[in-house]
Chains A and B, each alone.
Chain A
Amino acid sequence: MTLQRSCAGISGATAEAASLTRVAVRYVCAEVDVVSYHLAMSKPASRLDIEITADGLSVAGEIDAHTCHDLASALEPLPGSGDVRIDMAGVRFMDSSGLRVLIGAHQRADAVERKLLIERPSKSVFRIIEISGLADHLHIVNPA
């Protein structure tokens, strides 16, 4: 009888241990949650990625009032020593603040007899350039 009760007790304790383990696992999970959350928040996803290439830049993302400064500093001073190629295939959106940066760089390149080549703009970015009266002024290469 006693033995039986004790066995039941031990199995009860085992069950407790198991449930404790589950609690502990959840606890650790919550901890991991906090850590991963902090990691995610500490580095906000950049909306504009700029990569330096052999003869210019490769740009991807959105160019607007909040991100155009990054593009401006990548083009000041102009990279390399010959023509500057900006691969814009990955740019989903560009507004007038992006155009201002491109025009400024275009003018600076022009002044030292270099060319700023805007390569592979998407259809929507190319339309923004066109509608802004810049298609005949900027050097556009292979628009989509």
Chain B
Amino acid sequence: MLSDIEDELQLEAGALRAQLGRERRAREHRLNINRLGAETSGQVTREGVAEVLVSGASTIFECRWVMVAFVDNDDVVKIVHSPEVPSEIVRDWSSVPLSTLVPITDVLRGDRATCELVNRSEFAPWPDLVANAERADCGSLFIEPIPGGDRPAAAVVMAWSDAHELDELERELIAELIEAVTPAFARSMNTEVDHELATTLQDSLLPAHLPEVEGLDIATLYEAGRNAQDVGGDWYDVIRLDDQRTTIVIGDVVGHNARAAAEMGQVRHVLAAHLLATGDPSESLQLTDQYFHTRSLNTMATALVMVFDSVAATIELASAGHLPPVMAELGARSVVVESGLGPPLGSGLGGYCSIVQPFPQDAVLVAFTDGVVELRDETIDDSVDDFCRAVDRAIKTAQHGGRQQVSVDVIVDMIASRVADPHRTDDAAAIVCRNQRRYG
């Protein structure tokens, strides 16, 4: 009798343990799905969301490979996939027009709610897939759309080596997974549109061509922020005043997005008009400050105006709350150049002044926006000092110990590689000039 109880207990224990094991695994999967949903919310592009989804789904489902596909603005299929996806599939499915005959496009177009191919005989409508299935180690496919607007925002693809039919738990988990990432896809689609608008505006409002200035070698850089909310506002400009004097401007409109890009266009032209009319940097800043203070309460910008006098070999600097430029003279460490300093444009506080500094032959002047130097963990002085040392290193590398002139492109290239840092979010601009006039 005791042995009967024992057997019953063992049996029940086994069943319970199996049940608990299953439920615990399901719990863990659900925990992972929640984590994944939270992680995707930090992503601002569909590609970013897709990357998180692929890596997460690969750990949750015991399938051969995972892929996420979405359609870009030109109706071309983009895919993000786990490393196991065979090259044949990547070749056939990636960067192809939405009209291509592959299983994924049916779902992405919204023609099919889901695509469940539980064994190879169901691959028949897609001859390329039939031809590649053996080599691609693909026995069954499951494609589920991620809801978007008119058509799906994306589609998730899972493949198994053998014939595989989803069980109830797998179906539930996939539904939960899709629910968890849908908001992130919707949000990133919106921010992609915003990003595109701001970038287009910004590009069209920056000078398309800079004037040729005798005696001045000029190079510029503008790099949009990575996040949609971090595009727009930085600008540079070069305005010839007469045969002898040229104004170089760099500035940064406070705020981000299409609005900042549009305001940048206004500030750039109002300031340029005043510079052309007055030829005076501090007076132009004063007039521009008043213009925006009285007309547009929310517009605020920092700007640095530098008037290069090619005969005197000087530069007259007036700043409206902008970071000072850095100057590198041949054979010397680069230093911060003191400018006449006043408050940001649009503050209405006024009180601008300028300082004239020497700008000798072959010296290089680097003006930039805070996106080039700003790192949160340092004080601004340390950041600018780091930047000076980076300028020195770039020059030293370019010279290889010699004393030849340094091309302005060397400095711009160095800045470009600095702002390629994935941790940087703000947009960044720089204008680099070398006095290449020959003096006596």
Contact A6 B2 (CB under 8 A): yes
Contact A103 B6 (CB under 8 A): no
- Is B9 part of the binding interface, using a Cβ–Cβ cutoff of 8 Å? yes
Contact B34 A13 (CB under 8 A): no
Contact B381 A62 (CB under 8 A): no
| Minimum distance in angstroms from B388 CB to a CB of chain A | 15
Chain B interface category by residue count: 35 or more
Contact A132 B321 (CB under 8 A): yes
Q: Taking A34-B31, A65-B229, A133-B319 as contacts, is the C-beta distance between A9 and B3 under 8 angstroms?
A: yes
Which residues in B have their C-beta under 8 angstroms from that of A38?
A: 34
Contact B34 A133 (CB under 8 A): no
Which residues in B have their C-beta under 8 angstroms from that of A26?
A: 24
- A132 in complex: contacting residue of B28, B38, B229, B302, CB < 8 Å: B302
- Is B256 part of the binding interface, using a Cβ–Cβ cutoff of 8 Å? yes
- Is A17 part of the binding interface, using a Cβ–Cβ cutoff of 8 Å? yes
Which residues in A have their C-beta under 8 angstroms from that of B35?
A: 37
Contact A33 B31 (CB under 8 A): yes
Q: Taking A62-B376, A97-B254 as contacts, is the C-beta distance between A12 and B319 under 8 angstroms?
A: no
Q: In the bound complex, how far is the Cα of B10 from the Cα of A16, in angstroms?
A: 8
- Which of A34, A62, A65, A128: most chain B Cβ within 10 A? A65
Contact A37 B20 (CB under 8 A): no
Which residues in A have their C-beta under 8 angstroms from that of B436?
A: none
Closest residue of B by beta carbon distance from A15: B13
Contact A30 B10 (CB under 8 A): no
Q: Taking A27-B27, A95-B370 as contacts, is the C-beta distance between A132 and B344 under 8 angstroms?
A: yes
A85-122 toward B: CB 8 Å interface, digit per residue (1/0)?
00000001101110110011001000000000000000
A55-92 toward B: CB 8 Å interface, digit per residue (1/0)?
00000001001100000000000000000000000001
Which residues in A have their C-beta under 8 angstroms from that of B10?
A: 9, 12-13, 16
- Is A43 part of the binding interface, using a Cβ–Cβ cutoff of 8 Å? no
Q: In the bound complex, how far is the Cα of B21 from the Cα of A132, in angstroms?
A: 62
Which residues in B have their C-beta under 8 angstroms from that of A124?
A: 379-380
- Is A134 part of the binding interface, using a Cβ–Cβ cutoff of 8 Å? yes
Q: In the bound complex, how far is the Cα of B349 from the Cα of A62, in angstroms?
A: 25
Which residues in A have their C-beta under 8 angstroms from that of B34?
A: 34, 37-38, 41
- Is A31 part of the binding interface, using a Cβ–Cβ cutoff of 8 Å? yes
Which residues in A have their C-beta under 8 angstroms from that of B255?
A: 65, 97, 100
Contact A6 B252 (CB under 8 A): no
Q: Taking A103-B343, A132-B344 as contacts, is the C-beta distance between A95 and B374 under 8 angstroms?
A: yes
- Which of A20, A38, A96: most chain B Cβ within 10 A? A96
Contact B2 A133 (CB under 8 A): no
Contact B23 A133 (CB under 8 A): no
| Minimum distance in angstroms from A144 CB to a CB of chain B | 11
Closest residue of A by beta carbon distance from B353: A133
- B6 in complex: contacting residue of A12, A17, A23, A131, CB < 8 Å: A12
Contact A96 B23 (CB under 8 A): no
Q: Which residues of B in the span 134-178 have a Cβ within 8 Å of any Cβ on A?
A: none
Which residues in B have their C-beta under 8 angstroms from that of A93?
A: 376
Closest residue of A by beta carbon distance from B343: A133
Which residues in A have their C-beta under 8 angstroms from that of B321?
A: 96, 99, 131-134
28 pairs from A and B in contact (CB 8 Å cutoff)? A6-B2, A9-B9, A13-B10, A16-B9, A16-B13, A20-B13, A27-B23, A30-B28, A30-B31, A34-B27, A34-B31, A37-B38, A65-B255, A65-B256, A95-B370, A96-B302, A99-B300, A99-B321, A100-B254, A103-B344, A103-B349, A104-B297, A128-B380, A132-B302, A133-B320, A133-B342, A133-B343, A134-B349
